[in-house]
Amino acid sequence: MSKAVFITGLEPDLAADFVGQAPPHIKTTLLHHTASVEEKLAHVADADALIIFRPNRIENDLLGAGQNLKLLQLVSAGFEHIDLDLCASLKLPVANNGGTNSIDVAEQTLALILGIYRRLTDLNAEVQEGAWGRMPTGQCTHTIHGKTVGIIGLGHIGRQVAERLKPFGPRMLYSDAIRAGEDVEKTLGVEYAEREALLERADIVTLHVPINDATRNMIDAAALARMKSTAILVNTCRGGVIDEPALTKALSEGSIAFAGLDVLAQEPPERDNPLLSLPNVLLTPHAAGITRDTWTRRGKFVYENIERVLNGKAPLSRIDGR
C-alpha cells in the first residue's frame, strides 16, 4: 500500500470528490492546511507523494522530512510559491495539474468577454431596477464575430480558449515564447504575431501565461499604449502580469475600453484599489479555474501521475525543469 498526503483548504465534499479518484492501492490522508506543522510532519514522514492545493504554500521543513517522497504534486497550475531549488536539492520532482482546469479557465475567459461585450451585468441591473430598454444596446454592445482576438500564451488554457472562440468567427492571433507548429495553428485557426503587433491589431487581448521574471508586468504602460482605444483586456492567469497602476490610468483615460479581470496583483484587494470602482472593469475573485466539475478531472490526473512515479516513470507536467 502506497501513501499520499493531501494538504488542502478545500471543502470536505470537494476534497472527497478529488480523493475518490485514487486507486485502491494508494491510501490518502487528508490534512487541512491549518493543521500544525508537527501533525503534517508526522504524516509526511512515510508518504510516497505529497499533494497540495489551496493554499499552494508548503512549509519547507516538510519536504526534507519526507524520506520516501517521490513526488510533490500540485493540484493547481501555478507554482510560484514552491521553492523549486530546494526540491531540486532534495531530488524531489514537482508537477502541476497538467492543464486539467484549462476547460474551466477557458470558459470563464469566454464569459468575461461576452459579459463585457454584451454588457450583461449592466443590463441585468437595469431590468431589476425597472428601467427596461434604457441602455442603447445598438450603440454599446458588440459581437465577437468579425473581431480580432489576441491570445498571449498558447499553452493548455490558451488553446482551449482558441477552440471555444473559433465558432464565434473572430480572427485569432497568438503570441508565445515558443511558437506552435503549423498543424496546431491550422487546427485552432490561429496566426502567430509578435506581441507588439498583436497588441496593436487586437480588439480583444486575453492573457494566459505563467507568472515569472519574463512575464511580470508584461502589460505595462507601453503595452497598453499600443492597444486600440476600443480594445478590451481579459486576464485569467495571474494579476502580476499586468502593471495595475498603468491599467488603472489607461481605463480611466479611455486609452482602452474595458478590462475583465479574474486575478489581481493582491488578492483579496484592498478596498481602496481603484480598479474596484471603475465602471469599465468586470471583476471576478480568482474563480476561473474553480468549478464543481473540475475535481474529478484534477483527481484523475493527479493519481495517474503518482502511479507513474511509483512505477518508476517520469511524472507528467513536471515544472521544475530538471
Which residues are identified as catalytic? Answer: 238, 267, 286
Q: How far apart are CA 263 and CA 252, in angstroms?
A: 19
Judge whether 234 and 112 are in contact, CB under 8 Å. yes
Grid coordinates in use for 225? Answer: 499604449
Q: Give the neighbor-by-neighbor strand order of the sheet with 281-283.
A: 190-192, 171-175, 148-152, 204-207, 232-235, 258-261, 281-283
Cα 56–chain centre separation: 13
Q: Cβ distance 257 to 285 under 8 Å?
A: no
